[in-house]
Amino acid sequence: MSSILTNNSAMSALSTLRNINSSLNSTQDRISTGLKVSSGKDNAAYFAISETMKGDSGMTKAVNESLTLTKNSVATARLGAEQFSDLATEFRDKVAFAQENKGGLDEIESDLKRLVADMGAIMSQSTFNGDDLVNAGKKAADGTTAAVSGTMDVVGTITPEATNPSSKAADREIITGISRDSAGALQTTKITVSPVDLNAQLETFNLIATDFAARAGSTADTDTSGAADGDEYLAAVLAHADTATKATVDAATSLGQSEKSIERQQEFLTKLSDNLDAGVGAMVDANMEEEAARLQALQVQQQLASQSLSIANQAPQNILSLFR
């Protein structure tokens, strides 16, 4: 039965064309954005998970960037401590040389004072952007300026400073990553970076260099030990110099270990953020090969559906032939 009021063929063709156009619009959106899931309406579960993973990736990258500043501070301190240690070793060698070579004590004292000045200069430059990990600011444990570290007598015995001595800063907890527990709550991971106190060793070296020639050359026996004060002094300051040198090596080693830990963590964070980004991409990125093939097919379908609708719209015209 033909009807001039209802064209079922046209309605069917129009519905088909409307569905094809809708699919074509979706395909064009995926091609233009590169995303198959761009909002919650596309896939609510994938969208929620991907947004959480994007946030975690962003936080991971931010932590990684902040670790760069910390690593630069530690690297600067480590470099300074290593150079300080080299000078400390040279200082100890000159003290050892003086044990049986007392003819040039004045020259040795001059060298020792020059080394102490160089160590002080290196220590003061071993900070990064104001971050002091070597106690270049010569602080005590309470943050105030440290008192001069003790005194040394004629036989090389050091009396430590009892009030406000030099001290390293408190250990630092550095955030190295972000994680989530089973409930999805954020947690942080941390490592500890321990500052060092090069200033305490510098003060020891300074005590040794001060009046070195006069004390090392003394033939008096102040403590009535049977040995000349100068000999006792040289033996004592050699032990002090060796202890202080070992302390500088330990300081450089500790800073080097902290720097390496940060580098390992940064390497892991880089891989982790890449993995998170890859996971997000697997869920929400469009497969461009598939979308290109789908676009071609839909365009053909659109043309055929338009042709079908055109034919269906011509059907009522055929009714006129019945009245001729």
Model confidence, pTM: 0.77
pLDDT of residue 14: 87
pLDDT of residue 4: 64
Q: How many residues does the chain have?
A: 324
- pLDDT confidence bin for 114, thresholds 50/70/90: very high
What average pLDDT does the chain have?
88
CATH of domain 45-282: 1.20.1330.10
Q: 3-state class of 128 per DSSP?
A: strand
- Residue 291's alpha-carbon distances to 24, 42, 82, 297, 314, in angstroms, are 10, 15, 59, 10, 34
**What average pLDDT does this structure show over 219-241?**
84
Decide if 222 contacts 233 (C-beta within 8 A).
no
CB within 8 Å of 300: residues ≥ 6 apart: none
- pLDDT confidence bin for 104, thresholds 50/70/90: confident
List the beta strands (DSSP E) in 181-268.
Answer: 186-193
- pLDDT confidence bin for 143, thresholds 50/70/90: confident
For residue 309, give the DSSP letter. H
pLDDT of residue 86: 96
Helix 198-209 vs helix 229-284: crossing angle, to nearest 10? 160
Instruction: Work out the number of other CB atoms within 10 angstroms of the CB of residue 288.
Output: 11
Instruction: Work out the number of other CB atoms within 10 angstroms of the CB of residue 170.
Output: 10
Chain position carrying tokens 């697997």 = 282
Cα distance between residue 136 and residue 126, in whole Å: 7
pLDDT of residue 159: 81
pLDDT-wise least confident of 40-44, 140-144, 271-275: 140-144
**What average pLDDT does this structure show over 299-319?**
82
Q: Comparing C-alpha atoms, which of 202, 200, 192 is closest to residue 141?
A: 200
pLDDT-wise least confident of 83-92, 117-126, 211-220: 211-220
